[in-house]
């Protein structure tokens, strides 16, 4: 957007006229990280304008505006007009805040990552109508809104024309795709409709579904992925806890039985599929027994790797009222145990596929003379760099 307004993109390490820091509220110390980055910018380019956007800017605009060196704080809707807001600024003036109540944020702005020509993250959905008790994302991103299928297809075709081979579909609550730009049901299109139509776009060889709530990952979608040549046998499904009691306290919309059923459906149709799991440890009320339930449950599931998060308190969330609070050292100990389990799962998954030939899409990035790529089922491989393999799908013996 800013390039269209005459700006030129620079690396963060270079001196620039404007720096935009896009903050994240999932990160525990967004505030600290933001301060450090602003300080670095001030040292490097004291005359530059510093703009802060992102979830943290929406949640705590005043706090951010008080950081010395910050010139502009833009909320969830206003960030799409950066150039316009910048034009009205003078360096040295007190920081300006432009943000509105998150409930009023409407509209959908499609976007995709441009760092890598091989693989692109394409945003098709934003916001979330769920109310998980630990989560601030709905407060930072607003109600569930989506792109139209027509627009997503147009973007996919454009990316294909630019040489992109793999698209990762992203959204805050991806499986809830279909609500119109005002959060209504106007589009009347489901995530299933989207994947079916994307599958027909010529030029894109691979799609991945970034992360999808288990209750929204229908058997219809699973069956479709199993029969598709373009959607990869790779799922990332948040579990968060393997205890029904804790799931209820978290206000998640499923029980562990449903999760196990989804994993079973995937594996029965695609035994080679990779399944990643998000899990939170140390949620308030999580006793040793609850944690053991989670550990044993995940141990019993045919999944490939875990992303383990240590619960941390967030302002204005319902979870703050739940007791007893789990001591920090226990949270860390539980995190360690699950990371060990993840390591074992990952090793086992790789062992299972040893000797098989699978298709790898190699990426363009060269590091220490090596290049990397992923198999269809998300096993990472690396090999000495070969120019002719960049952005190519190669048969690879694991
Ligand atoms: S589904 Fe729950 S955890 Fe995910 S963004 Fe929505 S409220 Fe947050």
Which pLDDT value is given to residue 187?
A: 64
Who's near 203: CB < 8 A, 6+ residues apart?
157, 160, 161
State yes or no: pLDDT of 84 exceeds 70: yes
What token pair was written down for 333?
Answer: 């100990």
Confidence of residue 28 (pLDDT cuts 50, 70, 90): low
Q: H-helix or E-strand containing 281?
A: strand 274-281
Which pLDDT value is given to residue 88?
A: 87
- Residue 131 Cα, ligand 1 centroid: separation in angstroms? 6
Question: Which residue of 26, 127, 128, 175 sits with most ligand 1 atoms within 8 Å of its CB, as the best mutation to test the pocket?
Answer: 128
Confidence of residue 321 (pLDDT cuts 50, 70, 90): very high
What does the CA dihedral 144, 304, 112, 232 come to, rounded to 10 degrees?
-100
Cα 110 versus chain centre, distance:
15
Q: Report which ligand 1 atom has the smallest distance to the Cα of 128.
A: 6
How many residues can be counted in the chain?
398
| CA–CA distance, 134 with 358 (Å, rounded to integer) | 39
Mean pLDDT of the chain: 93
Q: With 0-12 CB in 10 A as exposed, 13-18 as middle and 19+ as buried, what is 192?
A: middle
State yes or no: pLDDT of 205 exceeds 70: yes
Question: Which residue of 139, 142, 172 sits with most ligand 1 atoms within 8 Å of its CB, as the best mutation to test the pocket?
Answer: 172
Instruction: Give the best-scoring range by mean pLDDT among 1-15, 47-61, 172-186, 298-312.
Output: 298-312
Q: Report which ligand 1 atom has the smallest distance to the Cα of 138.
A: 7
State yes or no: pLDDT of 186 exceeds 70: no
Over the stretch 216-262, which tens digit does the pLDDT of each residue have? 999 999 999 999 989 999 999 999 999 999 999 999 999 999 999 99
Q: H-helix or E-strand containing 102?
A: none
State yes or no: pLDDT of 171 exceeds 90: yes
- Residue 134 Cα, ligand 1 centroid: separation in angstroms? 9
Q: Which pairing describes strands 49-54 and 72-74: parallel, antiparallel, or unpaired?
A: parallel
The DSSP bridge partners found for residue 169 are 122, 209
Q: Which of 233, 211, 142 is nearest to 181 (CA)?
A: 142
- Residue 278 Cα, ligand 1 centroid: separation in angstroms? 12
Confidence of residue 92 (pLDDT cuts 50, 70, 90): confident
3-state secondary structure of 176: helix
- Residue 44 Cα, ligand 1 centroid: separation in angstroms? 38
Confidence of residue 143 (pLDDT cuts 50, 70, 90): very high
Q: Report which ligand 1 atom has the smallest distance to the Cα of 213.
A: 1
% of the chain beyond a pLDDT of 70? 98
Return the higher-pLDDT residue of 335 and 183: 335
| CA–CA distance, 179 with 182 (Å, rounded to integer) | 8
- Residue 140 Cα, ligand 1 centroid: separation in angstroms? 11
Confidence of residue 13 (pLDDT cuts 50, 70, 90): confident
Q: H-helix or E-strand containing 280?
A: strand 274-281
Q: What is the average per-residue pLDDT within 77-84?
A: 89
Residue with the smallest CA separation from ligand 1 atom 4 is 173
Over the stretch 274-293, which tens digit does the pLDDT of each residue have? 999 999 999 999 999 999 99
Who's near 121: CB < 8 A, 6+ residues apart?
112, 113, 167, 168, 170, 210
Rg (alpha carbons) of the chain, rounded to whole number: 22
3-state secondary structure of 123: strand
- Residue 313 Cα, ligand 1 centroid: separation in angstroms? 15
Which pLDDT value is given to residue 148?
A: 93
Question: Which residue of 127, 130, 183 sits with most ligand 1 atoms within 8 Å of its CB, as the best mutation to test the pocket?
Answer: 130
- Residue 238 Cα, ligand 1 centroid: separation in angstroms? 10
According to DSSP H, which parts of the chain are helical?
30-44, 55-59, 61-65, 82-87, 137-141, 149-161, 191-198, 219-227, 244-249, 256-269, 288-300, 328-352
- Residue 129 Cα, ligand 1 centroid: separation in angstroms? 8
End-to-end alpha-carbon separation of the chain, Å? Answer: 42
Over the stretch 105-138, which tens digit does the pLDDT of each residue have? 888 888 888 766 788 999 999 999 999 999 999 9
- Residue 110 Cα, ligand 1 centroid: separation in angstroms? 20
State yes or no: pLDDT of 32 exceeds 80: yes
| CA–CA distance, 81 with 90 (Å, rounded to integer) | 17
Over the stretch 341-373, which tens digit does the pLDDT of each residue have? 999 999 999 999 999 999 999 998 899 999 999
Ligand 1, pocket residues at CB < 6 Å: 128, 130-132, 135, 137-138, 172-173, 213
Question: Which residue of 132, 239, 278 sits with most ligand 1 atoms within 8 Å of its CB, as the best mutation to test the pocket?
Answer: 132
State yes or no: pLDDT of 31 exceeds 80: no
């Amino acid at each position: 957007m800013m390039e269209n307004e005459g700006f030129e993109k620079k690396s963060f390490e270079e001196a620039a006229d404007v720096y935009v820091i896009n903050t994240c509220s999932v990160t525990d110390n967004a505030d600290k990280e933001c301060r450090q980055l602003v300080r670095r910018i001030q040292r490097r380019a004291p005359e530059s304008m510093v703009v802060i956007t992102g979830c943290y800017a929406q949640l705590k605009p005043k706090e951010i505006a008080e950081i010395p060196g910050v010139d502009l704080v833009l909320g969830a809707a206003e960030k799409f007009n950066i150039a316009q807001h910048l034009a009205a600024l003078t360096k040295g003036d007190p920081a300006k805040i432009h943000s509105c109540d998150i409930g009023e944020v409407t509209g959908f702005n499609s976007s995709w990552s441009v760092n890598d020509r091989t693989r692109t993250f394409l945003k098709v959905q934003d916001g979330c109508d769920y109310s998980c008790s630990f989560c601030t994302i709905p407060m930072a991103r607003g109600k569930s809104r989506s792109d139209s299928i027509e627009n997503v297809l147009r973007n996919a075709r454009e990316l294909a024309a630019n040489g992109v081979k793999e698209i990762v579909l992203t959204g805050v609550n991806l499986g809830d795709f279909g609500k119109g730009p005002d959060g209504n049901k106007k589009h009347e299109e489901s995530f299933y409709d989207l994947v079916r139509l994307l599958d027909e776009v010529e030029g894109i060889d691979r799609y991945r579904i970034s992360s999808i709530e288990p209750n929204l990952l229908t058997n219809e979608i699973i069956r479709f992925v199993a029969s598709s040549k373009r959607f990869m046998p790779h799922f990332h499904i948040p579990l968060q806890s393997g205890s029904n009691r804790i799931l209820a306290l978290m206000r998640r919309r499923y029980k562990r039985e449903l999760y196990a059923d989804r994993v079973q459906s995937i594996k029965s149709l695609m035994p080679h599929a990779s399944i990643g799991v998000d899990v939170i440890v140390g949620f308030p009320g999580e006793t040793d027994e609850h944690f053991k339930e989670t550990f044993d449950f995940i141990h019993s599931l045919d999944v490939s790797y875990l992303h383990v998060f240590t619960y941390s308190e967030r302002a204005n969330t319902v979870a703050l009222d739940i007791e007893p609070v789990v001591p920090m050292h226990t949270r860390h100990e539980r995190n360690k145990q699950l990371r060990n389990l993840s390591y074992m799962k990952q090793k086992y998954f790789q062992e299972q596929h040893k000797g098989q030939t699978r298709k790898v899409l190699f990426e363009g990035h060269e590091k220490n003379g090596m290049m990397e790529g992923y198999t269809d089922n998300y096993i990472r491989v690396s090999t000495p760099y070969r120019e002719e393999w960049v952005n190519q799908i190669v048969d690879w013996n694991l």
